Amino acid sequence: MPTPSVHAQFDESTNTISYVVWDPATAQAAIIDPVLDYDHRSGRASHRSADALLAFAAEQGLAVAWILETHAHADHLSAAPWLKEKTGAPICIGEHIRDVQRTFAPVFGLEDVSGDGREFDRLFRDGETFPLGGLQVRVMHTPGHTPACVSYRIGDAVFVGDTLFMPDYGTARADFPGGDARTLYRSIHALLSLPDDTRLFLCHDYKAPGRDHYAWETTVADEKARNVHIGGSVTEEDYVKMREARDATLAAPVLLLPSLQVNIRAGRLPGPEANGRRYLKIPLDI
């Protein structure tokens, strides 16, 4: 099984892990789930984290060929447009981003969102493959957390987005619009049907109780044996009951509202208004 090289970059402010993954033979690389540095209290944004990914790629002599999103994130803003500007690489996501756009564009009154995914350069179908140097990337549609979630399988590595967490932390929430715990259970089991030694790279970590360090790499075997939500012989009915009860206690992510309106635009910020400034919308529930 081919083995890609992987560099992980952890953003502690959003608990997000972005990745540079590349084919060692050709030095062709992809960047997965890049983070825009955004301070919600001040409205300030910067490209510090994205520039660090570019600096790493330059130091290693890598050519960035793809910018890959696992889904429209609800907990951080994407830095994909900045990376595209610097590298020319296309911004890609699963084709079911259309469903997410159609759900959330009306929430924010975003008349400039197409609903057909054209904001992204490429929309992937389930099972589609594309090259990363001499390696092949296979797209797995893994919905449940959102309808548009995909995982990217590259040799012995799979980048699973928010679908799974470390075994001691569990699995993703499924209560966002279009999410579904039963669908999530089936997507997780599709991932767990891969060979036991398959490496799984996660998009988030929050330190499980009793663990004093962040972690983001595990294996199919470890998840099957030890995942506190789904490991062992947890049935679909028991999982759905647990997941729905747990989700009912969770607060909305801090950056939910700014993130979604940006990320369904492929990370593009709203255009400037007459005074030259850009504004995010916060829909009120009165």
* Distant-in-sequence, close-in-space partners of 238: CB < 8 Å, separation ≥ 6: none
pLDDT tens-place string over residues 116-155: 999 999 999 999 999 999 999 999 999 999 999 999 999 9
CB count, 10 Å around CB of 117? 22
Domains of the chain: 5-250 (3.60.15.10)
pLDDT tens-place string over residues 146-184: 999 999 999 999 999 999 999 999 999 999 999 999 999
Q: How many CA atoms lie within 13 A of 10 on its CB side?
A: 13
Please tell me the pTM assigned to this model: 0.97
CB count, 10 Å around CB of 106? 13
